[in-house]
């Protein structure tokens, strides 16, 4: 399926993974998968320490890939709702597995990091 050359031109999967490999994408997908539909401010609040700028650009990226949908309501004040598309819901289990793995192994990894620091 894959050749033994992973350079960018030969392995286009990299461009896909780059999209969801961003600093915030996984978190956003996870929380959207859990809540179903969320407003901009709601996501912003749940994530806690993301800036408006990063949230906007990450949502745009996911929207461009067709992983997240964006619905704007012509109201005052404006309301914008985000949710996973079918593609996004298909991706979700993979994300969830990764997060679950992280949870399961977080103590081990933190110990590994500690002992690695000492053996320098």
Residues interacting with a second copy, by CB under 8 A?
A: 1-2, 4-8, 10, 12-14, 16-21, 23, 26-27, 31, 46-49, 63-66, 87, 90-91, 94, 97-99, 101-103, 105-106, 108-110, 112-113, 116-117
Q: Which residues pair with 80 in a beta bridge?
A: 72
Please answer whether residues 57 and 40 qualify as being in contact, where contact means their C-beta atoms are separated by less than 8 angstroms.
Answer: no
Q: Which stretch binds DNA (CB under 7 A): 27-35, 36-44, 96-104, 106-114?
A: 36-44
Please answer whether residues 87 and 93 qualify as being in contact, where contact means their C-beta atoms are separated by less than 8 angstroms.
Answer: no
> Cα(29)–Cα(11) distance, rounded to whole angstroms?
24
Pick from 1, 2, 17, 23 the residue near DNA by CB under 7 A.
23
Tell me the three state secondary structure of residue 10.
coil
CB of 72 to DNA, least distance (A): 7
Residue numbers 38-57 binding DNA by CB under 7 A: 39-42, 49-54, 56
Residue 22's H or E segment, with its range, is: none
């Amino acid at each position: 399926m894959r050749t033994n050359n992973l350079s960018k031109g030969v392995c286009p999967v990299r461009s896909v993974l780059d999209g969801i490999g961003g600093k915030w994408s996984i978190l956003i997908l996870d929380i959207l998968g859990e809540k179903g539909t969320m407003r901009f401010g709601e996501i912003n609040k749940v994530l806690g320490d993301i800036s408006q700028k990063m949230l906007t650009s990450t949502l745009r990226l996911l929207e461009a890939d067709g992983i997240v949908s964006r619905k704007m309501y012509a109201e005052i004040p404006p309301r914008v709702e985000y949710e996973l598309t079918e593609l996004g819901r298909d991706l979700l289990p993979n994300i969830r597995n990764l997060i679950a793995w992280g949870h399961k192994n977080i103590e081990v990894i933190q110990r590994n990091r500690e002992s690695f620091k000492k053996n320098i």
